[in-house]
A and B are shown apart, each in its own frame.
Chain A
């Protein structure tokens, strides 16, 4: 791009510039720098009309990049004391950096101007090593020393950046790799993605020094395409490394002064070897890796000339997207029995396999199978050519009917669609789950609560049923048990009947309720127990003496009331006393 900067302070009346000789000047922005630091070389040609591009010399150890292919034009016209002078400058800018320290000399740079060759003076540049270690280092690690063409090489792009410190401020890894410091326009990562911060490490230099670095890495797999050195694309990290920073009014950090650093990795120590030409089988068409081939065909019951879709699936380790199809039309075992189109197949890659389909037609009815299809590849691990073969596919081929063209057309029109047997394929992925609740609801393998309830409920239900059944049988068959079980209820029933009985009968019913209760509990004959018998039985059962005495006194009062009569209020009191005694008797363990 040509930029014209016109500076004219006076109105030009006439231009009578005296012709001056063309000259060239080269200036470095700094004569000293650190490894990786970028210094600017400015080349200016003056007083010339027709200027060519400078020829930048090669200097071992230095990287010199011409930043502008077209010169910047600077034109100046001056009139001083009536004398008019005109000056035109053509300027080019170069970025110069060196990865290692040393004294470098840039030889004279030649530029052709107005048919004349101009030469700059030689320029000295001193690269001195930083005492605290190089601030920016870029390197690429590879996982092996040798590889074949198309053999995957795992490589790691690693960028070491020394953390910038100023008094108590240390820039973070994110700040050191920020847009303010990394020049995104000039930075290139080659075949890698942008490196990410992986940690802080100590790096030791060959002279024994050590420095702390932020390390950023990006890993990738490279498939060499040519023999020789491994091509990584253009890798260059350009950054503004802070010299000093400052805080603004709000306390935010800002760059105050910085120097431009540029670093590229040295060539990784790996040799890419070509695929051998010796022993190369005839079917080899460039596949490198380890592969297996499988084949399927449909339909497998055809007439001569019917189309058969042959599907070849190639799986394995290698660059599947670049794997070519086997040259089927050159396969004599196949072309002997089948008509095979001579066309190159594109194939479809799906992550783990590449699938080719080709339509073939049997040429005679004696064909019994589609022969094994060989796939030849170069295995870089064994450094040998290997062949994988698919299994033969049995097919049935019948003679084709000889029909006239009109018959064929009519037959095609009238023929009902034949029912095709569906063949389920076991290959391929089943789709993702997409339901939000299916995918995001946490799951575990603990036993569901309903199962735990079921586990407990089954035996509990069985034991409960067994217990109830046992009780029912005993109740039915054991008279003593039944009397004891019903004793309290019978006694309360009798007391209830006593409330509504006549005064003469009431006392007898109350007494019957109490003696009947004791009789039921002890399986004595009902209605035959006298007061003395009750006392004796209670003595045998070691019933509480107080209760025994109270019952005896109660029975004495009942006898007196039965023979002597009792007022209504007294009778109600007697019944209530009887109920209280009965409740106490119910608590006795018989």
Chain B
């Protein structure tokens, strides 16, 4: 593991941290449209980072770079010490199943597996026996307070429950990084708060978090570090004391 010194948090202190994510000058072009335009970023272990920005600014694209769901046009992406740009499709899949947990706005559960099996499937993917995978899945469901929903199919779960199942699935293989793209976007505020609370609790336990959200309140509440993205660039990073930003394109995004 790469160990380095990292500028840390609003408290201004410096601590020694493992770097979990390091993006260096990442570009992503769709045709001649630059969705990401030179993004560099480091995230240390145990951090909880919120990514904010207007719609279409490149937040999801950024997340896809980190999860290896998509490849950058330029620059390098190193996650958990692995250079993702050097991995082939299979390598990326193996990387994802062991290192990354993902939570989506619209849950993305498999409709034809009951809640428990949706969670256990991830475990089976890394070679757990079906019984062992179910056992761990059930423990997770218990911790997330949805153990009694284990045999229910996604279609019959409430939105909040679905997102908790999705979270349990993301945690199944003890990922070094938990990615969440608008995890509360499809939930009412109460369920949204519960899911956010859950993520904060996980972070307290040492889980590294990268959350995309539109909601400044949630961002402020749960993340100790907020990154604002605008037009494919990082407009502001709260971990950097001053708002050091390219082209002064700053903060406007938050207001929008």
Q: Do A and B bind each other?
A: no
Interface residues of B (CB under 8 A from A): none
